[in-house]
């Protein structure tokens, strides 16, 4: 069992703020919400896309006018709060890196330092025309709660990025956005065995490998909100997710599954998650990891089987198959 306490902050626009005060107001609101986060004792806190520069494109401000470096003044301030919380914080913003601009997420560690940055891999055409560069690869970070990855907004349109996260062994994926594109995530979570924590300006939820949606907080359902002043408000979504979860082929593991459940009765939970030929195992015992179970019984996660099959196709095919693969 490997539990992580996840707090998603759906924070919308402070519409009544003057242009020149917008970044200062957004940062101040975010810091205040990190103070609110203390009540949840989170391991991870995630804000929506562009949280530092919300509404910049509605106010006639150019991206280059509002971009900041990472690390920089904003991440320094967020880092102080992250250290107080002893939590990881995913803080999306427009990043300036020399002459380059990125739609980015600063991944701030529990010590307050920036661990790394992930960039939107597929900016919209409008973003690119305004100077935003695409990221180069999916970033996955090692943490004590498993491997953590992220995508941003328009990235969700590209299923190969979901595959890439699985190839890199992601256990928990954060998806900050200003839109509402989330239809792929239930499938990605069920197929690849990672949780997806989705967060936009008004809505937040978590998609689990069992096919469930948890911690759904939509302002359309009159959930409690935090008034930020100037027309802005926030809605919080909190969940505890177990990242030691695996998706396996039911026919491939049929012989071993009863032996596994007999030996680890009370330590593993078996989920018949869907009709896609897969089952889900979840460790609920701190002394038992699914990696150890896989090694002991010689079973492989469904995605590993798919990758092995993909490599076999590539090896024996007399043409180039239309299968995404890791070069």
pLDDT at residue number 228: 85
pLDDT for residue 61: 66
In this structure, the answer to whether residues 252 and 288 fall within a common structural domain is yes
Q: Is 325 inside any structural domain? A: no
7 and 109 assigned to the same domain:
yes
Q: Say whether both 233 and 258 belong to one domain.
A: no
206 and 254 in a common domain? no
Same domain (yes/no): 230, 285: no
Does a structural domain hold residue 85?
Answer: yes
User: ∠ CA 120-305-307 to the nearest 5 degrees?
Assistant: 40
Which is nearest to 170 in space by CA: 241, 271, 109, 106?
241
CA atoms of 91 and 107, how far apart (whole Å): 7
183 located within any domain: yes
> Which of 204, 220, 242 is the last residue in one of the domains?
242
Residues of the chain with pLDDT under 50: none
Spatial CB neighbours of 216, under 8 Å, sequence gap ≥ 6: 203, 204, 205, 237
- Indicate if 202 and 254 belong to the same structural domain: no
Tokens at 103, concatenated? 């739609």
pLDDT value, residue 326: 58
Determine the 3-state secondary structure of 19 from DSSP. Answer: helix
Query: Residue 230 has what pLDDT?
Result: 76
Q: Are 280 and 134 contained in the same domain?
A: no
**Dihedral angle over CA of 191, 194, 195, 197, nearest 10:** -100
Phi and psi angles of residue 72, each rounded to the nearest 5 degrees, phi first:
-170, -170
Q: What is the pLDDT of residue 315?
A: 82
pLDDT of residue 105: 98
- Domain-embedded: residue 324: no
Q: What's the pLDDT at 11?
A: 87
Q: Which of 216, 242, 268 is the last residue of a domain?
A: 242
Is 321 a domain residue?
no
Structure tokens at 261: 């459940």
pTM of the model: 0.92
**288 plus 159 within the same structural domain:** no
Q: What is the pLDDT of residue 263?
A: 95
Domain ranges, residue 279 = 245-316
DSSP string, 128-176: HHTTBPPPSS--EEEETTEEEEE--GGGGG-HHHHHHHHHTT-SEEEEE
Question: 192: part of which helix (H) or strand (E)?
Answer: helix 183-192
What's the pLDDT at 325?
58
Q: Tell me how many domains the chain contains.
A: 2
**pLDDT computed for residue 95 by the predictor:** 96
* CATH assignment of the domain containing 36: 3.60.110.10
Q: In the listed set 190, 225, 242, which residue is the last one of a domain according to the structure? A: 242
pLDDT of residue 324: 59
């Amino acid at each position: 069992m490997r539990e992580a306490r996840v707090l998603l902050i759906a924070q919308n626009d402070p519409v009544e703020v003057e242009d020149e005060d917008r970044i200062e107001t957004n940062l101040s609101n975010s810091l205040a919400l990190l103070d609110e986060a203390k009540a949840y004792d989170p391991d991870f806190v995630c804000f929506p896309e562009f949280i530092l520069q919300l509404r910049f494109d509605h106010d006639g401000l150019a991206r280059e006018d509002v971009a900041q470096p990472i690390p920089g003044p904003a991440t320094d301030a967020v880092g102080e709060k992250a250290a107080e919380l002893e939590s990881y914080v995913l803080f999306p913003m427009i990043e300036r890196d020399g002459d380059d601009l990125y739609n980015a997420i600063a991944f701030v560690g529990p010590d307050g330092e920036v661990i790394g940055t992930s960039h939107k891999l597929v900016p919209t055409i409008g973003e690119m025309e305004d100077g935003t560069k695409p990221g180069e690869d999916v970033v996955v970070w090692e943490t004590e709660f498993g491997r953590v990855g992220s995508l941003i907004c328009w990235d969700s349109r590209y299923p190969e990025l979901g595959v890439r996260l699985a190839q890199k062994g992601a256990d928990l994926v954060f998806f900050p956005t200003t839109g509402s594109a989330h239809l792929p995530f239930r499938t990605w979570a069920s197929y690849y065995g990672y949780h997806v924590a989705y967060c936009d300006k008004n809505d937040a939820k978590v998609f689990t490998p069992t096919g469930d949606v948890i911690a759904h907080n939509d302002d359309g359902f009159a959930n409690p909100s935090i008034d930020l002043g100037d027309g802005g408000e926030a809605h919080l979504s909190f969940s505890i997710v177990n990242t030691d979860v695996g998706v396996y082929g039911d026919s491939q593991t049929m012989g071993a599954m009863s032996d596994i459940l007999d030996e680890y009765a009370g330590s593993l939970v078996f989920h018949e998650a869907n009709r896609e030929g897969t089952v889900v195992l979840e460790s609920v015992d701190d002394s038992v990891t699914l990696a150890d179970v896989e090694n002991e019984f010689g079973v492989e996660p469904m995605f590993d089987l798919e990758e092995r099959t993909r490599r076999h196709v590539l090896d024996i095919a007399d043409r180039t198959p239309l299968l995404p693969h890791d070069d």
